[in-house]
Structure 1
Amino acid sequence: MKAWQFEGAGKPIALNEVPEPTPGPGEVVIDVEAAGLCHSDLMYMEVGEGTMPFLPMTQGHENAGVISAIGDGVDGWRVGDVVGVCSSGVRPPLGMFAPGGFADKLVADAADLARVPDGLDLSLAALATDAGMTSYHAIVKEGKAGPGMKVGVIGYGGLGQIGTRAAVLAGAEVHVAETKESVWDLARGAGVVDVVRDAGEWAGQDFDLVVDYAGFDTTQMGIDAVRRGGTVVQVGLGLPTFTVNTPSILGKKLVGSLGGTVQDIEEVFDLLLAGEIAPEYTEIGFDEIGSGLERLRRNEVVGRLVARFGG
């Protein structure tokens, strides 16, 4: 079968022929039908060598498809079930530390499966497994966005658009900082009260919560924006390192949010199916994954790119 693989630092992702997987105990094989492209894929192409347990590594950590084989000891699932895959920590994250979904098939632990409801498009199901889960978990579960809170969202991309809407639905007063002015109207349409280009404009405005979905040395801006006792949740990994002014964090909380749970994904599935969250995304073909990552690197993507293939 075909798989898009990271082969080493400084090299573009490569389309290679690899053996088809078989499930071990507690595992299933999924025929991948949709896979989202993420800035984290690019980050691991910069820092993955020496971090990943082996190379080449099949990338792709945002996946949905149909179960085609089941290993011993798997209960509650059957061949033909439509599922999304959560990187919940049951097994090493797919696409980074275990073969991911930029391939015709992938192996997943049964405990990491989220059931896709009837009627939900698989592109939406795929992006919900990372862009949805990660953004929702960060702002609702870690940040505890709720009624009466003043919330800032840094970055209105694939994650930020979902996190923003989740906070609006939770009853918060939501502000967005986004350098790409072409998406400002989308943010306003999601229910935000204000959009600025630079989160530095929020300094001293006593936000209760700021969630940074960008991670391009923007964390300090969030710290400067929140009140004493406020919280900054760091999600984005736009840069591998950035700095904060140590005294500025005193009396405030800085939390790193990584991923989420199967329950988070299924809650996002329900919101997507109901139309309460309607993210922007563009579908591409499996053969376009390499060029799609380059589009992402050049900041040419609005929302999310999702590759459609398989059945």
Structure 2
Amino acid sequence: MRALLSKAPGGPETLELAELPDPVAGAGQVVVDVRACAINYPDVLIIEDKYQFKPPRPFAPGSEIAGVVSLVGEGVTGWAVGDRVISTVGHGGLVERMAIDASRLYRLPDDRGFEDGAALLLTYATTIHALLDRGHLKAGDTLLVLGAAGGVGLAAVELGKAFGARVVAAVSSEAKAEAARAAGADEVIVYARAPFDKDQSKALADQFKAATGPGGANVIYDPVGGDYAEPALRSIAWEGRYLVIGFPAGIPRLPLNLTLLKSCDVCGVFWGAFAARDPAANQAHVDHLFRLWAEGRISPRVTEVFDFAEGGRAIAKMASRDAIGKLVVRVGG
């Protein structure tokens, strides 16, 4: 089978299309013929050895897949050859076939395509955990979403609206603003590109404050970090919750006196660890997501599909921070 492999640390241009032996289904596993693999920011980091997990090389990036079960291992119940499935796999998804623990599979509805299925779980499951478990978002709250046109950003806009919040979306271009509005944002801010000096940082804080209103943002969803974090924190409400999702713009240093003045919380969001530690709670969230998907209240926005051999180009586009919505690599027929 073909696989897009990282054989040495480096950027997307270092990935190599290679042949590997077909996997076998061990006890408790199935083999999935991968049809589509979504690209996420951790794929940018993991091939450069900048992610918190460093798999032994060679390995394939790609953390969420959709495909068809082709082999069923010993002890597996509830799954059969031909079943359409989706899964989050951490890494390894840019391959034609992979062995996956059956416990990590979810059934792909018959009326949904493989590209949409591959684009669902990581962004929306991260976000529902962030908003409900860490942010305690409730109807009537004001939610400020940074990077609101990316995969997790659009998921936060949609889920924020589904949960009854007023959503303020912050983006870096008018094209991204259109995507945020289409996802249901009540108000959209177009901010400048960092880095910011002191005056620019204050101006962005004022922009956030004006958009969130005199009460401030009850919940701030930040998958961006960098110089955007402190201005956003300055717009937080009394006893607000600042959700730390990721750092494509760099790891910020927040002035902790602001947390005292606003009596607010800064909350880390690590969905993968949450799902491993509390699988029942994660399953309840995923069930909720499937209901919202069936009702049309959320829908992954796949904006570009790449051929398998161009998987590195998809990761490069993610690294550029110009992507809107989700990028997906079409792996098999």
Same fold (TM > 0.5)? yes
Cα distance between partner residues in 1 of 2:51 and 2:234: 34
Match of 2:189 in 1: 196
Cα distance between partner residues in 1 of 2:251 and 2:171: 20
Q: Which runs of 5+ in 1 are unaligned?
A: 88-93
Match of 2:177 in 1: 184
Q: Which has the higher helix share?
A: 2
Q: Give the drift of 1:40.
A: 1.2
Change in 2 beyond 3 A, CA 1:74/1:57:
same
Cα distance between partner residues in 2 of 1:118 and 1:145: 32
1:208-239 alpha-carbon deviations (Å, 9 max, x no partner): 10111223453333422222311011112315
Q: Normalising by structure 2, what TM-score?
A: 0.83
Cα distance between partner residues in 1 of 2:71 and 2:181: 44
Match of 1:304 in 2: 326
1:125-140 aligned at under 5 Å gives the runs: 125-140=117-132
Match of 2:306 in 1: 284
**Which among 265, 286, 292 is matched to residue 265 of structure 1?**
286
1:267-308 alpha-carbon deviations (Å, 9 max, x no partner): 333333432223431222112111111122223322111112
Mean Cα displacement is larger for which, 106-115 or 259-268? Answer: 259-268
Mean Cα displacement is larger for which, 239-248 or 145-154? Answer: 239-248
Change in 2 beyond 3 A, CA 1:150/1:10:
same
Q: Which runs of 5+ in 2 are unaligned?
A: 192-203, 276-281
Cα distance between partner residues in 2 of 1:170 and 1:32: 33
1:183-229 alpha-carbon deviations (Å, 9 max, x no partner): 21221232222111246332575211011122345333342222231
* 1:33 and 1:309 in contact (8 A); partners too: yes
* 2:96 and 2:332 in contact (8 A); partners too: yes
Cα distance between partner residues in 2 of 1:53 and 1:279: 28
Match of 2:110 in 1: 118
**Structure with bigger gyration radius:** 2
Percent identity between matched residues is 28
Q: Give the drift of 1:265.
A: 3.4
Name the amino acid aligned to 1:160: G
Match of 2:151 in 1: 158
Partner-residue secondary structure (3-state), 1:135: helix
1:46-102 alpha-carbon deviations (Å, 9 max, x no partner): 334894141111111011111111222222212211111135xxxxxx21xxxx210
Cα distance between partner residues in 2 of 1:82 and 1:178: 35
* 2:314 and 2:328 in contact (8 A); partners too: no
Q: How many residues align?
A: 301
Q: Normalising by structure 1, what TM-score?
A: 0.88
* 1:114 and 1:266 in contact (8 A); partners too: no
Match of 1:220 in 2: 230
Partner-residue secondary structure (3-state), 1:192: coil
1:36-115 aligned at under 5 Å gives the runs: 36-48=38-50, 51-86=53-88, 94-95=90-91, 100-115=92-107
Change in 2 beyond 3 A, CA 1:43/1:215:
farther
Change in 2 beyond 3 A, CA 1:286/1:267:
farther
1:23-42 aligned at under 5 Å gives the runs: 23-42=25-44
Match of 2:247 in 1: 237
Name the amino acid aligned to 1:83: V
Partner-residue secondary structure (3-state), 1:264: helix
Change in 2 beyond 3 A, CA 1:275/1:78:
same
Structure 1 residue ranges, 4+ long, deviating more than 6 angstroms after superposition: none
* 1:67 and 1:82 in contact (8 A); partners too: yes
Name the amino acid aligned to 1:178: V
Mean Cα displacement is larger for which, 215-224 or 163-172? Answer: 215-224
1:13-24 aligned at under 5 Å gives the runs: 13-24=15-26
Partner-residue secondary structure (3-state), 1:295: helix
Match of 1:91 in 2: none
Name the amino acid aligned to 2:99: V
* 2:69 and 2:85 in contact (8 A); partners too: yes
Match of 2:268 in 1: 256
* 1:153 and 1:174 in contact (8 A); partners too: yes
1:19-51 alpha-carbon deviations (Å, 9 max, x no partner): 211122211111111110111110222334894
Mean Cα displacement is larger for which, 211-220 or 149-158? Answer: 211-220
**Which among 149, 156, 179 is matched to residue 141 of structure 2?**
149
Cα distance between partner residues in 2 of 1:76 and 1:50: 33
Change in 2 beyond 3 A, CA 1:137/1:205:
same
Kindly report the root-mean-square deviation, in angstroms, between the aligned alpha carbons of the 2 structures: 2.2
2:316 counterpart of 1:294: yes
Mean Cα displacement is larger for which, 196-205 or 112-121? Answer: 196-205
Change in 2 beyond 3 A, CA 1:2/1:165:
same
* 1:116 and 1:269 in contact (8 A); partners too: no
Cα distance between partner residues in 2 of 1:255 and 1:265: 21
